[in-house]
Amino acid sequence: MRRRKTNLIGEFIFAWMLLSCMVGSSQEPRNVLLICVDDLRPELNCFGKSYISSPHIDSLAAVGSRFSRHFVQAPTCGASRYALLTGQYGGASNEAIFERARRMASGDTVSPSMPAWFRQHGYTTVSVGKVSHHPGGRGGPDWNDDAILEMPDSWDRHLLPAGEWLHPRGAMHGLAHGEIRGDAKAMDVFQSTEGPDTIYPDGLIVDEALYQMKQFQSDALKPFFLAVGIIRPHLPFGAPAKYMEPYVDVTLPTIAHPDKPTGRSTWHASSEFMKYNRWQRNPNEDAEFATQVRKHYAACVSFADAQVGKLLDQLKQLGMWENTIVVLWGDHGWHLGEHAIWGKHALFEESLRSPLIIRIPNESHPNQELDAVVETLDIFPTLCQATGLPEPSFAQGGSLMPLIERQESSGHVAVSYTPKARTIRDSRYRLIAHDDGFLELYDHLSQPGETTNLAEQRSDICQDLLKQLDQRRGKNK
């Protein structure tokens, strides 16, 4: 008990000294707002012409830097968020974050998480919604057991207002007015219901985040790190009807490369999507149904975009905008029929490329698009440099500030993985290495869309990329 008290006093003194130095400098400590959006494709107007309406995200991009070739570490929620929150490569499954927590509980030495690092350096850290794998950051049957934390020692407050959905598990896949997923076959794959934003879980999540922002005003000298996790457009695709209205009569562009790949590939049968009630319709065989699915996905993106708008407006209304770094990050992409896939979990471009927008106050080059290849791992060291915190030596990414401020970096390769394969992406090629040795090689310069496997013809490139992959990720991880 005495040792813990001594540690707390030491942490307080260290944080006070750090903040005193920051306040005494030319710049007061910057806040961080990290917005995590589930299953968000970079199919937004700020990343190129799109039929999807996302004015608030587009407005953020207009005052920040958008990374057009940002790739996540894994095409699944838990493993991708592990990389975001730790700055390190990790396990490929959704259990990655809980596995880290179990190592901590057993006494293993584990590097601090990103929020823990900010907390140790004097920040108030709060998460609301789906920031780690489970909304609210807990385990147990209903994901609300306070004794089972996904990210121990990371958050001062980690919150999930469940409302009518009763618990975080109910909110994760909740449809309107408290509908909770039991048997997925009995839950509609998409839905559009009249009502305010709060008839779906994200409305409550963002209302709580707005309340937390007001609480930060009472401790104005202490900076905050606020992470807000928006669930939509995750399945099932449910959003208030007003967000569906703009898409009712819109003509959608043709799905790029919609055919199932011939021969072996990273293709899968879209089991997450197919397990919902689809009224016995298959979007790979029914073009009208495919269009309906795409429109409901778009409505969910517009719903999520409206929640982003509320967060940005609150920053401005509370006078925090000029001193807050804002990051908008998609945890992975999502196929809408490309390669005949409806979902994530593949190692194709559509699963791994997601939006990344970083807005630094008084940025010298606002509204810039940066096409260097970057990874989710780069966010942790970037935020440290942007806030003046020490950069963690254990983080495996690199700061993006040289790119943002001076466009002085050409980026680097991006590595991603599933339980059975790994991939590496450079500025031209994607190599996918299956655990049994089978290779896929795609040339984005000559064959956009990853539709022609060139591995047999270009073994020299395969070997070079395999060497880089082994060096960066490790052969058997």
Per-residue pLDDT tens digits for 61-71: 999 999 999 99
Over the stretch 33-58, which tens digit does the pLDDT of each residue have? 999 999 999 999 999 999 999 999 99
Query: How confident is the model at residue 22, as a pLDDT?
Result: 44
Please check whether the domain covering 28-411 is classified as CATH 2.60.40.10: no
User: For 245, phi and psi rounded to 5 degrees?
Assistant: -55, -40
Q: What's the pLDDT band for 132 if we cut at 50, 70, 90?
A: very high
Instruction: Give one word for 178, left, alpha or beta, with left for phi > 0 and alpha for psi -120 to 50.
Output: left
pLDDT tens-digit series, residues 154-186: 999 999 999 999 999 999 999 999 999 999 999
Q: What is the pLDDT of residue 221?
A: 75
For residue 28, give the nearest of 219, 316, 220 by alpha carbon.
220
27 pLDDT band, cuts 50/70/90, is: low
d(CA 203, CA 207): 6
| pLDDT at residue 474, as a whole number | 65
H-type alpha helices, 241-378: 271-274, 287-317, 349-352
Give the whole-angstrom CA distance, residue 381 versus residue 114: 9
The token pair that represents 360 in the structure block: 């630094």
What is the pLDDT at residue 11? Answer: 42
Whole-number pLDDT of residue 2? 37
* 374-418 confidence digits (pLDDT tens): 999 999 999 999 999 999 999 999 999 999 998 877 789 999 999
* Pure H helices in 46-184: 55-61, 77-86, 96-105, 114-120, 168-172
Residue 450 has pLDDT above 80, yes or no: yes
Q: Is pLDDT at 219 greater than 90 in this prediction?
A: no
What is the pLDDT at residue 133?
96
Band of pLDDT at residue 60, cut at 50, 70 and 90: very high
Residue 6 pLDDT exceeds 50: no
Q: Answer whether residue 25 shows pLDDT above 90.
A: no
Name the 3-class secondary structure at 392: coil
Residues 45 and 322: their CA atoms lie apart, in Å, by 25
439 pLDDT tier (thresholds 50, 70, 90) = very high
What is d(CA 354, CA 303) in angstroms, rounded to the nearest whole number? 18
CA distance linking residue 88 with residue 315, whole number of Å: 30
Q: How confident is the model at residue 447 (pLDDT cuts 50, 70, 90)?
A: confident
Residue 9: the pLDDT is: 41
Token pair of 416, please?
């991603």
Is 336 within 8 Å of 289 (Cβ atoms)? no
Beta strands in 24-160 (DSSP E): 31-37, 65-67, 70-71, 124-129, 138-139, 145-149, 157-159
Residues 280-297, mean pLDDT to the nearest whole number: 98
Q: What is the per-residue pLDDT for 113?
A: 98
- In sequence order, what E strands does 316-451 have? 324-330, 335-336, 342-343, 356-359, 368-370, 374-375, 414-418, 421-425, 429-434, 439-443
> Does 420-477 carry CATH code 1.10.760.10?
no
What is the C-alpha separation between 231 and 109, in angstroms, rounded?
Answer: 32
Helix ranges (DSSP H) in 318-356: 349-352
Q: Which helix (H) or strand (E) holds 216?
A: helix 201-216
Tell me the two tokens of residue 20. 């005193």
Cα-flanking dihedrals φ and ψ of residue 152, to 5°?
A: -60, 145
The shares of helix, strand and coil residues in the chain, as percent rounded to the nearest 5, are: 35, 20, 45
**Statement: residue 3 has pLDDT above 50:** no
- Residues 21-38 have a mean pLDDT of 76
The encoded tokens of residue 282 equal 């298959």
Q: What is the DSSP letter of 188?
A: B
Residue 101's pLDDT band (boundaries 50, 70, 90)?
very high
Arithmetic mean of pLDDT over the chain: 93
pLDDT of residue 20: 42
pLDDT of amino acid 364: 85
DSSP-derived 3-state class of residue 230: strand
Q: How many CA atoms lie within 13 A of 225 on its CB side?
A: 25
Q: Residue 311 pLDDT more than 90?
A: yes
- Angle at alpha carbon of residue 416, lines to 414 and 421, rounded to 5°: 135
Q: Where in the chain is the domain with CATH 3.40.720.10?
A: 28-411
What's residue 284's pLDDT? Answer: 98
pLDDT of residue 411: 81
Q: What's the confidence (pLDDT) of residue 406?
A: 86
Digit-coded pLDDT (tens) for 422-433 = 999 999 999 999
Structure-model confidence comparison of residues 3 and 361, the more confident one: 361
State mean pLDDT over 10-29: 48
Average pLDDT over residues 274-301: 98
